[in-house]
Amino acid sequence: MDSGMNKKWGRSITDAVKAAIEGSATIIQLREKDADTGDFLEAARACLKICRLHGVPLVVNDRIDIALACDADGVHEGQSDMPAHVARTLLGPEKIIGVSCKTQQHAQQAWRDGANYIGCGRVYPTNTKANNFTIALFDRECVTTETKRLHTVQTGRNEQ
């Protein structure tokens, strides 16, 4: 969930979370690239309240400080963010940790570092990110073949 995209679509971040849960989402990732810390924390707390009401975990994208401050269910880290093993040390064994991976080496490192899942590129183009790199299905298979012990999340939407 990204409030910038939701504003573009004329809805609040909490409305988007409710809609995703009503549409059978089993986990929510809160992504706020441009919000200041106070606004992000407020949004995270509001979204977490909705998620907890429905038994759906909430992970915070890139911001372990926000995840800790609102007691989110976990965090998702990119390759340039905090390493998963450090996130695991800070969050503890019960929290969810996801890592964005585009190569077999990234996926293997995520496994070694204690990640619960990997995000494996965008299979379809999306307008929700400025750096719209898509990963070919063949590449996705190469990444995930090496890490069958980890759950894999694929992003991007097929608009056809």
Catalytic residues: 31, 100, 129
CA angle 38, 39, 40 (to 5 degrees): 90
Token pair 């949004």 in the structure block, residue: 43
CA distance 55 to 42: 20
Contact 125, 154 (CB under 8 A): no
Calpha distance 134→152 (Å, rounded): 16
Quick one: how far is CA 63 from the chain centroid? 11
Name the token pair of 116. 């619960």
Nearest Cα neighbor of 75 from 59, 87, 86 is 59
Nearest in space to 4 (alpha carbons), one of 51, 13, 72: 13
